[in-house]
Amino acid sequence: MKLPSPIRLTQTVQKGGCAAKVAALELRKILAQVRFPPSPQELMIDMGTFDDAAIYRINTDRALVQTLDFFTPIVDSPRQFGCIASANALSDVYAMGGKPATAMVILAFPLATLDNSVAVEILQGASDTIAEAGAALVGGHTIDDDTLKFGLSVTGFVHPDYVWSNAGAKAGDVLILTKPLGTGTLTAALKLGAVTESQIQDGMDSMCLLNDVSGRLPPELVPAIHAATDITGFGLAGHALNLARASGVSLRIESSSLPRFEKTMEFLSKGFLTKAHRTNGEYVKDYIRFEYEDSVLPQLVFDPQTSGGLLLAVSADRADQILSLLSRPFAFAQKIGVVVSASPEALLFS
């Protein structure tokens, strides 16, 4: 018997969005036990630094960007879910400085409990978002499953000389974050019925916003971005730690400068949390220092983002110019700190 429509998709799953990721510590333990084959010479970036996508050099002028991302529903509206999941997957290509070219759908759909119209709406939301990115939806794969899951495999391209990674940050760089923090706590409140989607519209809009940073900049400014990563399920702290470790630096972040959604701090204070808040904290606990006592701040930087912003390490002499150009498409983009020489604490929150 099929459930009536409309249905709250968030009530069909235990956890949603990027909060459903395998915890970073567990993932590292799993990967450490797998014997991977040697990487070919053409593979410029592999999984070694927990970067956002793989980069495979085709020739001197062209490299392929490859990624895959999928998750369970983070919002109730099927079309919005398709939009958010697609923007989240496309973001991995943008985080490498690339441009998406093709996308393929990954859809696990519970035919016994959900009407086909739900799948239609999800796919329409995805199709619209992929088209906005200037990419082509070229197919995919579906299975009948007990739990709804949706995402994309995305292929893009980038010039080999202008690849961004999480390993290029330099002491003296300025840190820029393109989107507010708090999608984890907002959607936790949504799942609990404490708010409706319309009451967290700022978060909904942000999750659908494409992270096309390189496309918003003139070519001469692209090399001024030394490192980039997108902030998703491991939270700002987890992804910033990966960047710091890959680059051999530390990051000093000014807590008061962190952009956040209107209800983020209220909902964190009320305890609208996910399991990922805890596991993200465990992942970074040996590498992080807060320079003042604040019970909510740690939860803010541990908050698992879905389709969050890009964290950019930018040459100090170009940071203001780049931020100015990004401020129109990314209204909440902020300078949040600086890159400093490596120290035992990779992350310093002042």
In sequence order, the β-bridge partners of residue 137 are: 103
Q: How far apart are the first and last CA of the chain?
A: 55
Told to judge if 18 belongs to the known catalytic residues of this protein, a careful annotator would answer yes
By DSSP bridging, strand 99-109 and strand 136-144 are parallel
Q: Which amino acid is at 194?
A: A
Alpha-carbon distance of 319 to 342, in angstroms, equals 21
Provide the strand spans (E) within the chain: 43-45, 54-59, 62-71, 99-109, 136-144, 149-158, 174-177, 225-230, 249-253, 288-290, 310-314, 334-341, 347-349
d(CA 90, CA 232): 12
Distances (CA, A) of 293 to 147, 235, 281, 289, 297: 41, 20, 16, 10, 9
Cα–Cα distance measured from residue 102 to residue 347, given in angstroms and rounded to the nearest whole number: 36
3-class state of residue 134 by DSSP: coil
Backbone angles phi, psi at 57, to 5 degrees: -70, 125
Q: Which amino acid is at 173?
A: D
d(CA 138, CA 125): 15
Q: How many CB atoms lie within 10 A of CB 155?
A: 22
**Is 172 exposed, middle or buried, given 0-12, 13-18 or 19+ CB atoms closer than 10 A?**
middle
Distance CA 153, CA 54 (A): 12
Helix (H) or strand (E) holding 279: helix 275-284
Out of 10, 12, 13, 18, the active site residue is 18
Q: Looking at the annotation, which residues are catalytic? A: 18
